[in-house]
Amino acid sequence: MQIPHSQQVDIFSDDQRQLHYAELCNALYERELASLSQQKISNTSLLQRKIAGLRHHVKRAAYSLLQHQSPLQVDVHNASWQAKQAAKCMANNYVAQKTQQWFSSNIQIGCSIAVHVKQLTCEHIELDSIDKIELSSHRVHTNKFGWFNIDGEFAEDNHS
């Protein structure tokens, strides 16, 4: 049986969603492979497991990023969230009590949070996600930046 031409999928079509998905997957692969190359992993089987799972995680992340409704725009070329930049870094408006109140009512694994990054004279805000919560010590661990107290201050990694 032959499929009518009108029902066949043209892999060379100019479908923006497919192009954005492919570009975003490439950007996520590049970022993760660069990160893996910098890690000191002495266990070969651990590295193999990370690489083996990469395909699944990249595809799922790309799909989720493109489906997510947000005031921020996804830059498909470098896999980052983009928004119009303010003249001054909004982290200067930080209030510890408000941050603690927000964490107390919104804390959950996978929650995206803004992290103020200051290096020399440059500062910016990056999104990170919570991957561990220690209610007993009132702190959270983020995927990239590590431990923070629930008032938003960086916490030394003295527990685990």
Residue 147 · residue 155 · CB < 8 Å: yes
Contacts of 32 (CB under 8 A, 6+ apart): 54, 57, 58
- pLDDT of 25 strictly over 90: yes
Q: How confident is the model at residue 56 (pLDDT cuts 50, 70, 90)?
A: very high
pTM of the model: 0.55
Tokens 């500062």 identify what position?
A: 123
Q: Of 77, 41, 36, 34, nearest to 53 (Cα)?
A: 36
Q: What is the pLDDT of residue 13?
A: 58
Is the separation of the CB atoms in 140 and 151 below 8 Å? no
Determine the pLDDT at residue 79.
84
Q: Which residues lie closer than 8 Å to 155 by C-beta, 6 or more apart?
A: 139, 146, 147, 148, 149
The whole-number pLDDT of residue 9 equals 57
Highest mean pLDDT among 9-18, 71-80, 142-151: 142-151
To the nearest whole percent, how much of the chain has pLDDT over 70? 89
Nearest-10 crossing angle of helices 16-38, 44-67: 150
Does the pLDDT value for residue 105 go beyond 90?
no
